[in-house]
Structure 1
Amino acid sequence: MKNFVPPADRMRHLIADRNRKMAASAHAYVRGSTARFYQWLDGSERPPLPEGPPVWICGDCHVGNLGPVASKTGALAVQIRDLDQTVIGNPAHDLVRLSLSLAMAARSSDLPGVTTALMLERIMDAYGAAFAPEAELEAQSDAVPVPEMVKLVIRKAARRSWRHLADERIEGIEPVIPLGTRFWPLTDEERAAVNALFETDRLHSLVTALRATGEDDRVKVVDAAYWRKGCSSLGRLRIAVLVKVGRGKSSRHCLMDIKEAIAATAPHAAEAQMPADNGERVVAGAKHLSPYLGSRIASAAFLDKSVFIRELLPQDLKLEIETLTRDEALGVAEFLAHVVGIAHARQMNAAERASWLEELQRNRSKALDAPSWLWNSVVDLVAAHEAAYLQHCRRYAIEENAA
């Protein structure tokens, strides 16, 4: 039997795992340090940012939080796929955080600073294109070309089946979640709460919504385990649930993801009308920003915690960017900025889109098309995160030596 972590030891192992992941590269550090970005945002000496119309924003808009997402009908599009930090706020926050993520990816790929400058120019053009009067605001726009490396991920997603998901997530297609390095045992209380949750009408509707099944089809929990996953969600409840849907030979298995929702670090607009419950907030943000994901997600109460639940589909993939060439960096930056622009523009009326597009042009130079507020923000953030990353690596090395 593989080694696994008992409930009492979860936090110690999760902290060690997060530190290891964040020490892997400066780009990985940025992905796992959302709070540092908002510490910078609270600083009095940072460059002033434009104020866009308050809309639902991702709140943690980095490269790894975008990727192919499947709809209930099987359609596929690249959208925002992680909404833990979603709030009604300033869309400029998403634009700056995405730009930081892409700039750090370029630095991790040993690309020169000139490439970063050109990336920011492409980001502004592609993001702004979503707010033009003639812009298409569907799930996927043809206004910006899809880079080849993104096409490869989309093709891979389109070919995937339950077998692929089972092999990756539960190491086989047998109806069991094997305990080991990724999945750890639940407490008796947690397991009983999982069973009770999937007996509710809300979860029955969520599970059966993706299938042509009758309302009386049975939804049965087959297995469940604590899921060791992610950096920024450290210490939060995360449970994988293997569910059997239907009866007899027509029954099928699906894998559900229960994730604790906590208060967002991202600041929200002063007059924003958002759900007070954090799970409901995540669901509302998903419906506005990522329609495909928003149609497949629900909130609930679980052991006095607010959670949101979705089915993991084989087609849902994140964009894993390790190294980039110059042309890849420019193409990916352009494409992802447009995806985020569509998610924001879809929530604005024509007047708001025109006003925001005009505001985005503020302080744009004639020599380089990226406005000074974006360039100066990214320069500040890259410097701060580079220093913080090195300090993190030093602490990690000391802890490893001590261990």
Structure 2
Amino acid sequence: MIENWMAEVQKTRRTLRCNMLETVLNEFDSRITGLSHDKRKQKYRQMAENPFRFFRGNAYLFYYDVTKIPFSFHTPEDKPTWIQGDMHLENFGAFQNSEGDLVYDVNDFDEGYMGSYVYDLLRMTVSIALYCEQYGFTDSEERMRTFLQAYYKQLKKFVKGKESPVTLFFTEENTKGPIRKVLKKLEKRDLARLLDRWTVKEAGRRMFALSEELQPVTQKEQQKIEAAWCQYVESLDEEDRKKSEFYEIKHIVRKSGSGTASIGLDRFYILIEGKEECEQELDDIILEMKEVRAPVPAYFMPYDEEFWLRYGHQGERVVTTQKAMHHHDDPFLGFVTIDNRHFYVRERSPYKKRIKPEDIENNQEFDKVLEVFGGIAAKIHARADRDIEHSLLDYHSEEEILKAIGEEYDAFETQLIFMSMAYKERVKSDYVLFCGWLNTKFI
């Protein structure tokens, strides 16, 4: 009899959680994003690869859950941080900034919004725990401590004036281990490598090489992008803007196969002239134009009317987030509207690269990576508060975060790691439910 009741209780709990999962997935992927059945199947098959991929692909479930959990160290609601919004291990990477420096930094800003810094840290530490299990690193709690301590120490350096978030960035000179190795390898990378990979020359004219990843656009899509292109050029910072012939479109293709969470959002690669009349050498440049929607955290954070009034265009919001968090940002950052849908544009960097599991030999090497990631997380939180024109924030985020932690760093660390480990187990159990639901609903 007891066994029957236990089985019934477990069945009910699984049923209720599975119903909730289905409701959240339907709301965001079907009603809000408008994914077709086939696009949902494509996205969910990627999410079904492993618990870490499942976690990456559904930030909305994460925020649905964790914003209901009390936490002792939030900043006040009227002192939010400009957060990255989807901070996990695979949203950091190397690239070349506009000054020619090879840097390692955050490289995804689609979910940028105003909210508690805690959610960036919690999403990151949960990803560390899942990554450790997925790729065989031990003692995930110690790995999380490494990240959190690096974050906290960097914030203190900013507040004490020892370093500035405006000038600090991470290069070969101030990194160690796998990140330094990646940056050193990139020094040898040929600028033409990206063009060689994605394009061919036909009758003396460069074009994209069509493939499974790069598909032709329709004539209507081509016309709409070309008609709106002047909007994009006008959105560029005046000091970065060149003559119109520099941005002349040579070829457009649809890009597929990028990003689990981005499936169903249009993404195009656009080849532009990249030179002005006075320049002799051909210098074609690949731009990426990506559709973007309202950020996931916005559905769960306190409503900020001033933010929405200022950043009603979601492409502008993403561009502004990147400018706020980076130094020497991409001079091709801009935004455009097509058919009432919002897009942002950026250069497809030939130096784009991130650390992969096989690049990390052991826990000690992983810690060197996490120390840099902690410093980067502190830098983007501290830098985004006041260092862009007409900022929404009139205070220093690093000061407010340290006030929230106070003299109780050990308690802060313990509480956050406890929450992360508990949520990691939730992700793993949700993953099992998700795979069962997927096999039932998306055969």
Q: Shorter-chain TM-score category?
A: 0.7 to 0.9
Change (3 A) 1:370 1:156: farther
Are residues 1:262 and 2:262 paired?
no
Corresponding residue for residue 217 of structure 2: 186
Structure 1, unpaired ranges of 5+: 1-9
Contact 2:129 2:421 in 1 (8 A): no
Are residues 1:24 and 2:38 paired?
no
**1:161 maps to which of 167, 174, 190:** 190
Change (3 A) 1:259 1:351: closer
Contact 1:289 1:343 in 2 (8 A): yes
Corresponding residue for residue 3 of structure 1: none
Q: Counterparts of 2:60 and 2:184 in 1: how far apart (Å)?
A: 34
Q: Counterparts of 2:441 and 2:185 in 1: how far apart (Å)?
A: 39
Are residues 1:40 and 2:69 paired?
no
Q: Counterparts of 1:62 and 1:80 in 2: how far apart (Å)?
A: 10
Q: Counterparts of 1:88 and 1:79 in 2: how far apart (Å)?
A: 20
Contact 2:330 2:347 in 1 (8 A): no
Change (3 A) 1:215 1:234: same
Contact 1:241 1:256 in 2 (8 A): yes
Q: Counterparts of 1:121 and 1:59 in 2: how far apart (Å)?
A: 21
Change (3 A) 1:18 1:166: farther
Structure 2, unpaired ranges of 5+: 1-34, 387-394
Change (3 A) 1:50 1:371: same
Moved more, 86-95 or 218-227: 218-227
Contact 2:83 2:112 in 1 (8 A): yes
Task: Give the percent of matched residue pairs that are identical in Structure 1 and Structure 2.
Answer: 17
**1:273 maps to which of 281, 299, 306:** 306
Corresponding residue for residue 179 of structure 2: 150
Contact 1:67 1:80 in 2 (8 A): yes
Corresponding residue for residue 15 of structure 1: 40
Moved more, 26-35 or 334-343: 26-35
Are residues 1:252 and 2:291 paired?
no
Change (3 A) 1:258 1:352: closer
Change (3 A) 1:392 1:379: same
Secondary structure of 2:351's partner?
coil
Q: For residue 319 of structure 1, report the CA deviation from its aligned partner.
A: 3.5
Q: Counterparts of 2:322 and 2:208 in 1: how far apart (Å)?
A: 28
Q: Counterparts of 2:82 and 2:400 in 1: how far apart (Å)?
A: 17
Q: Counterparts of 1:328 and 1:183 in 2: how far apart (Å)?
A: 36
Q: Counterparts of 2:192 and 2:170 in 1: how far apart (Å)?
A: 31
Change (3 A) 1:297 1:218: closer
Q: Which amino acid aligns with 1:326?
A: N
Moved more, 346-355 or 296-305: 346-355
Q: Counterparts of 1:284 and 1:388 in 2: how far apart (Å)?
A: 34
Q: Counterparts of 2:294 and 2:132 in 1: how far apart (Å)?
A: 31
**1 or 2, which has the higher helix percentage?**
2
Q: For residue 294 of structure 1, report the CA deviation from its aligned partner.
A: 5.5
Point out which structure has higher relative CO (alpha carbons under 8 A, 6+ apart). Answer: 1
Q: For residue 318 of structure 1, report the CA deviation from its aligned partner.
A: 3.4
Corresponding residue for residue 84 of structure 1: 110
Change (3 A) 1:48 1:40: farther
Contact 1:21 1:231 in 2 (8 A): yes
Are residues 1:225 and 2:270 paired?
no
Corresponding residue for residue 239 of structure 1: 268
Q: Deviations over 1:89-112 (max 9, x none)?
A: 211111111111111111112233
Q: Deviations over 1:307-345 (max 9, x none)?
A: 110111212323333675211222222210111101112
How is 1:385-396 mapped onto 2 (pairs within 5 angstroms)?
Answer: 385-395=427-437
Q: Which amino acid aligns with 1:177?
A: F
Contact 1:58 1:94 in 2 (8 A): yes
Q: Counterparts of 2:396 and 2:109 in 1: how far apart (Å)?
A: 27
Q: Deviations over 1:177-227 (max 9, x none)?
A: 2333212232322110122233457269679949xxx63644322211221
Q: Counterparts of 1:306 and 1:287 in 2: how far apart (Å)?
A: 18
Q: CA RMSD in A?
A: 3.2
Are residues 1:121 and 2:149 paired?
no
Change (3 A) 1:141 1:370: farther
**Between Structure 1 and Structure 2, whose CA radius of gyration is higher?**
2
Q: Counterparts of 1:271 and 1:206 in 2: how far apart (Å)?
A: 26
Are residues 1:360 and 2:416 paired?
no
**1:177 maps to which of 208, 218, 234:** 208
Corresponding residue for residue 389 of structure 2: none
Change (3 A) 1:93 1:336: same
Corresponding residue for residue 7 of structure 1: none
Q: For residue 163 of structure 1, report the CA deviation from its aligned partner.
A: 2.7
